[in-house]
Amino acid sequence: MNVWMHAALGILAGLAIAIPARAAPPSPDEIARLSAATEARVIDWRRQIHQHPELGNREFRTSALVAEHLRALGLKVTTGVAHTGVVALLRGALPGPVVALRADMDALPVTEQSGLPFASKVRATWMEQDVGVAHVCGHDGHMAILMGVADVLSRVRENLPGTVKFIFQPAEEGPPPGEEGGAALMIKEGALREPVPAAIFGLHLNSRTPLGKAGVRPGPFMASGDTFRIVVRGAQTHAALPWLGVDPVVVASQIVMGIQTIQSRQVNVLQEPSVISVSMIHGGQRANIIPESVELVGMIRALDEGMRQDIQRRLVTTAESIARSAGASTEISITPNYDVTRNDEALAELGTRSLRRTLGDANVFLNPKVTVSEDFSAYQKVVPGFFFFLGVVPEGTPAEKVFPNHSPQFWIDERVLGVGVKSLANLTVDFLSQGQNSR
């Protein structure tokens, strides 16, 4: 071997020593250990938020708590997005894609009846009414979980490939009347820009799912939600002389019954689930006066875009035709609120595998389609997304002690918070480390 060959081999050996092996992404065991270490703080955050709930676009105290925590982790934090939203960036030390994680922050105008020692006693004004305010949909848990995920991932950033964007969003339940808000405004104000995520993940605590189990579903998962308002106009008269006027109360009642036949008799119930609900009826001032008008307000839910449009058309036709047959008239408006929450097929496959590794095969199941709505769907129209349910009630709990989301008695077993942190953190790492060495 000549002197040049010796020199070349020496240089190569030096380079091999100088270039370190690529760091492996954080392991599930490491994520589990860090998640367990932060669980007490996550529970404390949840209780603080639960005791001090705030309505949509008014989450001032909540967003300040979130932002303070994220800044303490050394993240780049932007506040005031879509009124009170918070967006933070965690850049891993290794190259990789960008993923977004979202939690919703708003509470509901409900007076809490849980009996918890940290139950809400907050009151506020909603639609000109004095109301109780409470976290009875699990948003307090969603925030605490995402704060925990930020804590866990910030501790492994040296081994983290890519960037994590944390999105804390106001007004998921809808902004106050006359205001913009929610996911749509977050997107409009740049939450999905600079940098643009390749995917977005979210979860929802669900009282219909047993504790520690995850419900997943590719494709259409949660329904669209469109609000309709029908004003029926008749001719006011004395209640003793109905033939001298046109009774909008009777016509409105016929419309309520008529539009129920859309879902039960006019659309193919084998194609996708759908629901039409009238939830408010207003009209009249005195028992002896047939009023001039009655207002109906409700929502249409559908899991297929074609059915969604078809149901809207049929609702208008039905209401107008019934009113015309009685000599009344209608004013009808339909406001789109939520699109179908549709999970990307590839992300759902990745998410299911990740959740099974974290929770065990027996604790991950194919969730039925559901007719409630989620404005996470707005993000999914911009970037691919995956959304899943986590159960909050231990199996064997008596049915009379299980209360649905939005019930004033809604409660969660706080053990779900630790499950949520490690599930979402592992899912994030699994997505970011695609193409890296197998975990």
Q: What are phi and psi of 213, to 5 degrees?
A: -105, 150
- Taking alpha carbons only, the member of 174, 292, 303 closest to residue 227 is 174
Annotation says 338 is catalytic: yes
Q: What are phi and psi of 166, to 5 degrees?
A: -95, 125
User: Is 11 exposed, middle or buried (CB count within 10 Å of its CB: 0-12, 13-18, 19+)?
Assistant: exposed
Please check whether residue 164 is in contact with residue 38, taking contact to mean a CB–CB distance below 8 angstroms.
no
Annotation says 379 is catalytic: no
* DSSP codes of every residue in 182-193: HHHHHHHTTTT-
d(CA 318, CA 259): 7
- Dihedral of the alpha carbons of 402, 405, 411, 413, in degrees to the nearest 10: 80
Tokens of 253: 């009642």
What is the longest distance spanned by two Cα atoms in the chain? 118
Give SS3 for 149: helix
- Dihedral of the alpha carbons of 3, 4, 7, 13, in degrees to the nearest 10: -120
Q: Strand 94-104 to strand 199-210: parallel, antiparallel, or no bridges (unpaired)? A: parallel
Instruction: Please identify which of the residues 338, 349, 395, 400 carries the catalytic annotation.
Output: 338
Length of the chain in terms of residues written: 439
User: Is 53 exposed, middle or buried (CB count within 10 Å of its CB: 0-12, 13-18, 19+)?
Assistant: buried
Tell me which residues are annotated as active site. Answer: 338, 414
